[in-house]
Amino acid sequence: MRISTAHAHDQAIETLMKRQVELTDLQDQLTTGKRVAKASDDPAAAARAERALAGVLRADTSQRAVEASRTVMSQTESAMSDAEDLLQEAREGLVAAGNASYSDQERAGLAAKLRAIREQLLSVANRTDGAGTYLFGGQSASAVPFADQPGGVAYQGLTGEVRTEGGTDLPLSADGSSVFMSARTGNGVYVTSAAAGVTGAWIDNGQVSDPGALTGANYTIQFSVSGAGTTYAVLQNGNPTAITAAPYTSGQDIAVDGMTFKISGVPANGDQFTIAPSTPTLSVFDTLDRAINQLSTPGRSAAQIAQGNTDALRDIDQSMGQMQRARAVAGEVLARIEHETSRLDTQKLANQTERSRAEDLDMTQAISEFQNRQTGYDAALKSYSMVQRLSLFQYLNS
């Protein structure tokens, strides 16, 4: 078979150009450090790299949401700590108000102190994160959550929380209604109270003596005073019970259907005390308003002062307990945020590693291959140069 000189020349040139293209591609890979620069380089690896990049971007988005939650919950926890300090200060004032030697003027001074504490507490409840978002606004964190109205402080936010996307599901706001206005009334199970007009006796907060005997009904303790002494009867939901004309002794335990409480002092004929089931409706602002109103009222009897202080301290303690529970939840969220941060860091690193494996270049192997191809290309150039010098005229002249 005869091969023409022109054909051999073209074939050699084509081979040299192919080797040059391969060297150029390897040089580009060495420069960028990427084995796959476009999908056509390796479709399967490019798809893997794209999936890994999407995972990295999702992790970045989730990390931003987690950091936003961390900022809000840290500020929320700090705000609740400030609120607890204010309530403790109010409690100390109420304890002092129970001093029998205090005058009406001194109690009015304590009322002024409680009024200042109330204003500070309202300011804490309406605190923002510094960027215009209200910490306790619930699902409406862009509007002022608590409004001081003639009838007391009202919650204007939407109950619930704004939360991050489903992958992390972390709060970006707190439900102010739950924190400040949803403590349980009374002792947490039932509420004791004196009816209007009772001036000579008072009732304590009571306790549960037998949980299995609780009925959840409303009870009324009615007193009768006659020549035979002072007795009381117990009504359940307005109906008589087996307790009728029971002799009364001040400060002695009264047991009714799993509840035990004390009534002290000297009840008048017709005085009544009520026991009702506890409800999660106690507002810390209403508690302070009632305490301020009572401390500002002159001429109260010793029994009325004792009843007012007993009720106020009970309600303050319940509000503080609710605040502590909410603060504990915020602490749990902050601990969970740490775990989420660690998880997202691990997830992001795994996706970055997968992307690197799919598209990054093995530099050692690439340099070795480049050197081999360069050596081959140099040899091909020299071989081609030598063949090009061969011709009949050069042979005849040699």
Residue 1 confidence class, pLDDT cut points 50, 70, 90? very low
113 and 93 Cβ atoms separated by less than 8 Å: yes
What per-residue confidence (pLDDT) applies to 208?
A: 97
Binned at pLDDT 50, 70 and 90, residue 351 comes out as confident
Q: Which of the given ranges, 23-32, 323-332, 345-354, has the highest pLDDT on average?
A: 323-332
State residue 19's pLDDT score. Answer: 61
- The Cα–Cα gap between 68 and 197 comes to 54
CATH code for residues 38-185+282-360: 1.20.1330.10
The reported pLDDT for the residue numbered 294 is 94
Higher confidence at residue 395 or residue 270?
A: 270
pLDDT the model gives residue 360: 55
Residues whose CB falls within 8 Å of the CB of residue 333, separated by 6 or more in sequence, listed in order: 69, 73, 170, 171
Query: For residue range 286-341, what is the model confidence (pLDDT) as tens digits?
Result: 999 999 999 999 999 999 999 999 999 999 999 999 999 999 999 999 999 998 88
Q: At 191, is the pLDDT very low, low, confident or very high (cuts 50, 70, 90)?
A: very high
- The answer on pLDDT for 43 being more than 60 is yes
Mean pLDDT of the chain: 84
- In this prediction, residue 365 has a pLDDT band, given cuts at 50, 70 and 90, of low
pLDDT surpassing 50 at residue 247? yes
Residue 391 is given by DSSP the state: -
> Which is higher by pLDDT, 112 or 392?
112
Say what the pLDDT of residue 130 is: 83
The number of helices, as runs of H, and strands, as runs of E, in the chain is 8, 12
Q: Which has the higher per-residue pLDDT, 155 or 5?
A: 155
Of the listed ranges 191-195, 211-215, 379-383, the least confidently predicted one is: 379-383
Tokens 């050069």 map to which residue? 394
Of 6-10, 157-161, 351-355, 380-384, highest mean pLDDT = 157-161
pLDDT at 101: 87
Q: Which CATH number fits domain 190-278: 1.10.760, 1.10.10, 2.40.160, 2.60.40?
A: 2.60.40
CB atoms within 10 A of CB 216: 10
Q: How far apart are CA 211 and CA 113, in angstroms?
A: 39
Least confident of 82-91, 96-105, 180-189: 96-105
* pLDDT the model gives residue 262: 97
pLDDT value at residue 8:
57
Is residue 75 very low, low, confident or very high in pLDDT (cuts 50, 70, 90)?
Answer: very high
How far CA 16 is from CA of 5, 246, 380, in Å, comes to 17, 118, 7
pLDDT value at position 373?
A: 61
62 HSE (CA, 13 A, CB side): 23
**Does 196 score more than 60 pLDDT?**
yes
Tell me if residue 329 falls in helix, strand or coil: helix
Residues 6 or more apart whose CB falls under 8 angstroms from that of 281 comprise 181, 182, 185
Q: What is the pTM of this model?
A: 0.77
Q: Does the structure show a pLDDT above 60 at 40?
A: no
Q: Is a pLDDT exceeding 50 seen at residue 263?
A: yes
pLDDT at 398 over 70: no
Counting residues of the chain whose pLDDT is more than 90, the rounded percentage is: 57
What is the residue-wise DSSP string for 26-91? Answer: HHHHHHH-BS-SSGGG-HHHHHHHHHHHHHHHHHHHHHHHHHHHHHHHHHHHHHHHHHHHHHHHHH
**Banded model confidence at residue 189, pLDDT cuts 50, 70, 90:** very high
Q: Which of 386, 353, 272 is nearest to 55 (CA)?
A: 353
Q: According to the model, what pLDDT value does residue 15 have?
A: 64
